[in-house]
Chain A
Amino acid sequence: MSEIEWKKVSAEMLILSLVEARPRHGYEISQLIEQRSGGAVRFYVASLYPLLYRLEKRGWIQGRWVEKEGQRRRRYYRLTPQGKRVLASQRRGWRAFVEAINRITEAENA
């Protein structure tokens, strides 16, 4: 896989894993990514939403307008069963990739 594709896959994977535990809305997702990466990874509106819509179109996540008490209507995204399978396989691929990278870089260090 080329570098660009890995970037794309990893961005998808980030979003899929963030909505795995519970449904989240777009702003929440972008905040979480920024916080958990210590500000290293940031999604702007112009790239986050197109990505969300693409994942939704593929049927991996599903967005729903939800109105909570005292809050505005927000669109929450949740992981679909299909998305769950995709995430699992992406995780496996990612792990294998990281391990391979590690083996290469560790050998160099030794």
Chain B
Amino acid sequence: MFNINHARLELQDSKEGAFNYILQADRSFDRLHLSLDDYLDTQAIAEKQMLWPDLRLRFDLIWSTFNVFDIHLPTSRRLDSADRFASHVKQFLSQHDLLFSSDSLPQDDHLVVVDNTLTELSTELYGVGTDVFAQFNIFRDRISHRMEALYRYFWISGLMLLLTGTALVVQLLRLINQSTRLYNEAQDSESRLATVVEELRSGKREKKAKDSFLAAASHDLRQPLFALGLFVSALETRVTLPDGPVILDKIKQSTEALNSLFNSLLDISQLDAGVVEIAPEHFYCADLFRVLDEEFGEVAARADLGFRIGPTDEVVFTDYVLLGRILRNLIDNALVHSNEGEVVVSCQRKSETVSIVITDTGPGIPLEEQEHIFSEYYQLKNPERDRSKGLGLGLSIVRRLSELLDIDVSMDSEPGNGTRIEVKVPAGQPEAVELVRHQNANIKVKNFQGALVLVIDDDKDVRDAMELMLKQVNCIVVPAESVEDALRVVMERDLKPALIIADYRLREGKTGDAAIALVREALNENIPALIVTGDTSPERVREASGSGMLLLHKPVEPDELLSVIESFLLDSNTA
């Protein structure tokens, strides 16, 4: 950059000055030269006299020209030819100063000398001009060279800049893209994590695992349990050894315990699965209390404990069945843990809530244990985990149910002073109570209320097992080993069965559907019926299906049979 500026300065400094110098000098030389020519051409003295002042003026003008430029060529860089020229001019001016200062006319010879010198100076000036312009060209070339280099430099660096910029922008865009994707991924995984954390916190994961296990287990467990019940019942009549009934009784108790434990386990899994539906309603506490009194009065008497339920006319607003389960669990717990004394249930209205209080005279619960007793499988005073005392699920069911119903359950206990549990239930409105609802609604177990069922089967074992099972659900069973037998019994005792269950293959080549048809004909009524068959051969199955009656395959699962019977009986009831 410095070089360019320098060259430009040089050019600037010298150009105009040098140009003017040369022009002015040349013009002044020319004018004097022309005037001299005119003068020398003229012969008449008078005319010469007239031209002389003009010649003198011309000489002065040359002088003034070099006065302005101080003789020398005004360039920053000295030119040898210009220096020589300046000295020659100086010499010329001083040499002829005297000649032109005089008023009198000089000799023509002198003026010829002047003229010749002028011509020489003009030629010399031409040389100086050539040099000066050559120098300008050098400067100009240098500048243009520099400018070109600069231009190239700018061009290349501009291109580089553009390329770099493009690359940077591309990179930036890619980065932005990438970070957006990363951000989205991060958000995705964050939300997934949040879901998992939420599930973990609420114990959903754990419960899911447990629930699926229980759900799988319940189906498989129910079957053998139910069958066990059937067989134990069936065994009763066959035990003839002296101490047989005692052992059988123990087996029965164990079976019952197993059943109830299993049921509570299922209760928990149902509650955790969130499939229990709440149906809050207004009802009198007394209705529930009456049922509880019937249930637990006998149990308490057997355990040699007092059991009292106070009279009440309060109305509450909650789910009848679920509140019953809460209270049952609590009362059961109180009875189990009390060795002497009594368990008292009372009821009291407190503004917006009705508080049901259960007090026992048991050993009480230490303060540090109170918060644990509502968790699963936690038992007091049962370090050896005696199964007959239950699994410790009762209070955890209470906790779940109370959370579900939004009921406050609080405990006040002290070792040696018994336990007082208060259940705060939302108060209801007496006018909103539906009166006849809870006569039998709490019976969860299937109860067909003495429905008459005619069972036709040639196998006595099957008849007995069926009878046993049906008796458990309060059916009255009329067994018959053949069609004749069935007709006889029905006619003799003037019975009108609500349902007929027949084996498909009967004695002497008779079929179940024929037997059913005969009975229906005899009674002149289209009694609901179903056929049970152990035959899986395609012809028999087609045959049986052709009868148009419901067909069940042996071995019939008790649950399935019961639900079918239920549907039949409900149909005939509503019909």
The answer on A and B forming one complex is: no
A residues apposed to B, CB below 8 Å: none
